[in-house]
Structures are given as C-alpha cells and as structure tokens.
Amino acid sequence: METLQSLVRELVILVILAVVLELLLPEGDLRRYVRMVLGLLIIVAVLQAAVSFWNRDLAADLSWVTLGQPDRAGTREILREGERLWQVGQTRALDEYEEGLARQIRALAGLNQEVPVADVRVRLEEGRAVGEFGRLKEVILILGVQHGDAGDVPVGAFPAAEPAVDPQAVARLRGLVADFYGLTREQVSVRY
C-alpha cells in the first residue's frame, strides 16, 4: 500500500502543478504541450509504481493477512469445555434413563401380587465404551410396603425384620426381571 500511497501523492502533486501551470501560462498551444508532458509524467509515475510493485517479494508482503491466527490451545480449550458440557448432558441423560428404567421395573414387579416391591434401584455402566455405556449392571428390588414416594426412602431404611414373603416367589420375581432385561440371576438382588 505504501507504493500506491506514494503514487497517489505524486499524482495529486502533478494535478496541482497542472492547475498552477494552467493559471500561469498564457493562452495558446503551449498549454496543450505542457498538459501532454504532465500526462506523460503521470504515465511514468504509474509505470514506476507498477514496476516497484512487481519487484517486491509478494509472499513476504502478504504476511499481515495471516495476523491474529488461532492457536491450537484455543481450540483445545473450546473442546475441553465442550467435552465438560457433553459429560454434564450425558450424566443428566443417564439419570433420566435410570429413573425411567426403575419406574418400568417397578411396574413390571407390581404385576406380581405375591411379593410387595416398595422400590427399585438400578445401577448402570458408566464406562464410555460403545455398547457398554448405559448397560444395566444391577437391579435392586426393595421389598416392603410402599410409603408414599418410595424414591425418597433410602436403601436400608426399612425394618431389619424381613416381611413374610415366600422365598420361592422372590426367586420367581428375580428370574422374571433377569429374563426380561437379559441379566443373570446374580445381577438382580433383593433387599428388605
């Protein structure tokens, strides 16, 4: 741009010179000749600027275009923050899923009239591997009489004395839940 700036400066000076000469010179052919000479000077100025522009190292001159480029740390920081938000979302999704699943198992267990299921807890796989994440690890059936919102009752808060339920009925319920969700019998436990 410096070349162009100096070219414009020269052209402005030449035009002002032309005006001054026009004022000073008498009417006649001389004015036309002076105008032609000034025209030639303008051509020379333009050509000179073009040549000097041509001879420059354009690659070096264009380095300013790449000013303010991003650093990898910035991208990494964004990805890290995004990963954190993604994890927050996943945890939330897992909670929703866990709640829905517990509700579903409670409804399934409720079909069995022999064993009173007060609450159901599920444990899920939290490892991020494909096919593992969200896999059902364990189902805990909490037996007893349901007290209002069973979700608020912590495990182990029930009386230590086991209610009078048929162990075979409990085993059948465990089998039903295990078969329904593709689990082993050991993965379905019962607490009182």
Partner 1 sequence: MLRGLCVGLLVILLFGVPGLCWAQAPDAGDDLFHELDLRRVDEAVGVLRAEVDNALPDLDFKSLVASLARGELGYTPGNLAAAIWRYFFKEVLASAALLGKLVVLAVICAVLQNISGAFEKSTTSRMAYTAVYLALITIALGSFVIALNTGREAIENMVVFMHAMLPVMLTLLCAVGGFASAALIHPVIVIVMNAAANVVKNVVFPLIFFSAILGMISHLATGFSLSRLADFLRFVGLGIMGVLTTVFLGVLTIQGVASAVTEGIAFRTAKYASQAFLPIVGKMFSDAMEMIVGSSLLVKNAVGLAGLVLIFLMALFPLLKIIVLVFIYKLAAALVQPLGESRLSECLNTLGNSIVAVFGVVATCALLFFFALALMAGLGNLTVMLR
Q: Which spans of this chain sit near partner 1 (rule: CB under 8 A)?
A: 1, 4-5, 8, 11-12, 15-16, 18-19, 22-24, 35, 38-39, 42, 46, 64-70, 74-75, 77-79, 81-86, 88-90, 92-94, 96-97, 100-101, 104, 130-136, 180-182
Give the residue with the Cβ less far from partner 1, 37 or 169: 37
C-beta of 95: minimal distance to partner 1 in Å? Answer: 9
C-beta of 167: minimal distance to partner 1 in Å? Answer: 27
The 136-143 sheet, strands edge to edge? 117-124, 136-143, 188-191
Give the residue with the Cβ less far from partner 1, 42 or 150: 42
Cα three-residue angle 150-161-190, rounded to 5 degrees = 55
Helix axes 29-54, 2-24, angle to 10 degrees: 170
Give the residue with the Cβ less far from partner 1, 3 or 146: 3
The C-alpha atoms of residue 87 and residue 75 are separated, in whole angstroms, by 18
Give the residue with the Cβ less far from partner 1, 100 or 175: 100
C-beta of 13: minimal distance to partner 1 in Å? Answer: 10
C-beta of 29: minimal distance to partner 1 in Å? Answer: 14
C-beta of 157: minimal distance to partner 1 in Å? Answer: 27
Other C-beta atoms lying within 10 Å of the C-beta of residue 188: 22
On whether the CB atoms of residues 140 and 189 are closer than 8 A, the answer is yes
On whether the CB atoms of residues 124 and 175 are closer than 8 A, the answer is no
Give the residue with the Cβ less far from partner 1, 26 or 148: 26
- For the stretch 16-45, what's the b/e string if a residue is b when 16 or more beta carbons lie within 10 angstroms of its beta carbon? eebeeeeeeeeeeeeeeebeeebeebbeeb
